[in-house]
Amino acid sequence: MLRSVILAAARSKKMEQFVGAAPISRSLVKRFVAGKTTAEAVAVARELASKNLLATFDYLGEDTLDAEQADATRDEYVRLLKALKAEGLSHMAEVSVKLSALGQMFDEESAFARAHEIASVAADAGTTVTADMEDHTTTDSTIATVERLREDFPSFGTVLQTYLRRTEDDSKALAYKDSRIRLCKGAYNEPETVAYQRKLDVDLSYVRCINALMAGEGYPMLATHDPRLVEIAIDRARWYDRDPDSFEFQMLYGIRPTEHERLANEGYRMRVYVPYGDQWYGYLMRRLGERPSNMMFFARSLASKS
């Protein structure tokens, strides 16, 4: 119930204005978001690399409704990738893009073209791109766009969400050689017809999908903060005789940072998903929706004058 309210608030312009105008403490946003500028993102990449942590950067923004905004998003990714290359950090950092932020909602072809340009700059920098997955109405189109991008950039990655009933089949179909698949539980409010509603069913689906991806020839990216699922993934990697560099773990910036370092120190590839940019509101509300106990942290920050 609380989760639905928070996810609804994530889409509310009025709530956004209210929260944006509140004396929200910098520490709240700073906990989950790297900063607003390219330079701040690069600084975070450097800090993570010093701890042997990989990064993937998400320039915040979604549901782009015009070509100008979509071009500006593409340009920012290009700027960031060039800056990471210039700083010698591109072997440790890639980017995550939302196709909706590149124009998927109004012109799939131009979203494809913008993603292609980003992928080409990433390839030149020696790194990769992963397409985030949004609500279930975009799943087919996102997978189709990624499959086309892979014709030129085989390492272009995408995301599968285990709350969707279809995802076990998608995991099997997409577990081919070099296929980079980020597996997550899913963050949107989805109907019963397409998505499991009980947490246990989502978790069980996650385990079946780990099995499918680890058994295949692709590169699984296990994106979860769930300690049981991390242990199961480690167990399955052993079972399928996988090298530690043939898969990776991923977690969100600011969430379980001690665990990021523990896994990296144990020799696993660990990538931190780092959002940056000034459109932090929708992202932050989704993080709160996932874990309503973060609400107290948020409420304290709103009340704070500092």
Ligand X SMILES: Cc1cc2nc3c(=O)[nH]c(=O)nc-3n(C[C@H](O)[C@H](O)[C@H](O)COP(=O)(O)OP(=O)(O)OC[C@H]3O[C@@H](n4cnc5c(N)ncnc54)[C@H](O)[C@@H]3O)c2cc1C
Residue 242 contacts ligand X per CB under 6 A: no
Q: Which stretch binds ligand X (CB under 6 A): 69-77, 139-147, 177-185, 276-284?
A: 177-185
Check binding of 161 to ligand X (CB under 6 A).
yes
Residue of 280, 251, 287, 275 lying closest to 45 (CA atoms): 275
Of residues 82 and 108, the one with the C-beta less far from ligand X = 108
* Residues 96, 59: Cα–Cα separation, whole Å: 8
C-alpha closest to that of 49 among 102, 127, 164: 127
**Quick one: which H or E segment has residue 249?**
strand 248-252
Contacts of 36 (CB under 8 A, 6+ apart): 276, 277, 278
Site residues for ligand X, 57-86, by CB under 6 A, read: none
Stretch that binds ligand X, among 36-44, 137-145, 165-173, 252-260 (CB under 6 A): 252-260
Q: Is 255 in the site for ligand X (CB under 6 A)?
A: yes
**Exposure on the CB side of residue 109, measured as CA atoms within 13 A:** 0
The least distance separating ligand X from the CB of residue 276, rounded to whole angstroms, comes to 14
Q: What burial letters (b/e) apply to 47-79, b meaning 16+ CB within 10 Å?
A: ebbeeebbbbbbbbbbebeeeeebbebbebbbe
Q: What count of other Cβ atoms lies within 10 Å of the Cβ of residue 227?
A: 10
CB of 108 to ligand X, least distance (A): 18
Q: Which of 188, 196, 268, 280 binds ligand X (CB under 6 A)?
A: 188
Using CB under 6 A, which of 7, 99, 251, 263 touches ligand X?
251
| Residue 213 in contact with ligand X, rule: CB under 6 A | no
Query: Has 132 been annotated as catalytic?
Result: yes
Q: Catalytic annotation on 269?
A: no
Q: Which of 187, 214, 232, 237 binds ligand X (CB under 6 A)?
A: 187
β-bridge mates for residue 160, sequence order: 183
User: Near ligand X by CB under 6 A, which window of 16-24, 84-92, 140-148, 284-292?
Assistant: 284-292
Of 182, 236, 269, 287, catalytic: 182
CA dihedral 239, 245, 246, 247 (to 10 degrees): 80
Task: Provide the token pair at 297.
Answer: 């942290």
List residues near ligand X by CB under 6 A.
132-133, 159, 161, 182, 184-188, 223-226, 250-252, 255-256, 273, 287, 290-291, 294
Catalytic positions, written as ranges: 132, 182
